[in-house]
Amino acid sequence: MSDTHANQRGSVTRLQPVAAPPIDEHTASMIDLLQEHLRLAREGKLRSLAVVSVSADGSAIGTQWSCDSGDMASLIGKLTVLTHDLMAARK
């Protein structure tokens, strides 16, 4: 093994296991979803991502995104469809 590989291997930070499991199944589902997207981003399989978050008490809604400029219109269209689906499911 070359010195370069040895140095790279030494710089890897080990992840620590989570001491307490998520509070409930809903929280665990959100964490699983985020972890899946993190994995895809690390593997270079994502170029755009949009996130809508709602605070636990429902008083705050936030939107965040990171997208390729060519994806903006398509991403807005997908979010519009999602909005309509969510509103229809609420009835």
Q: What's the pLDDT at 53? A: 92
pLDDT one digit per residue (tens) for the chain, 91 residues = 444 444 444 566 777 776 776 678 888 899 999 999 999 999 999 999 999 899 989 999 999 999 998 999 999 999 999 999 999 998 7
Contacts of 41 (CB under 8 A, 6+ apart): 49
Q: What's the pLDDT at 88? A: 92
Q: What's the pLDDT at 1? A: 43
> pTM of the full predicted structure?
0.62
Cα atoms in the Cβ-side hemisphere of radius 13 Å centred on 9: 6
Q: What's the pLDDT at 48? A: 94
Q: What's the pLDDT at 10? A: 53
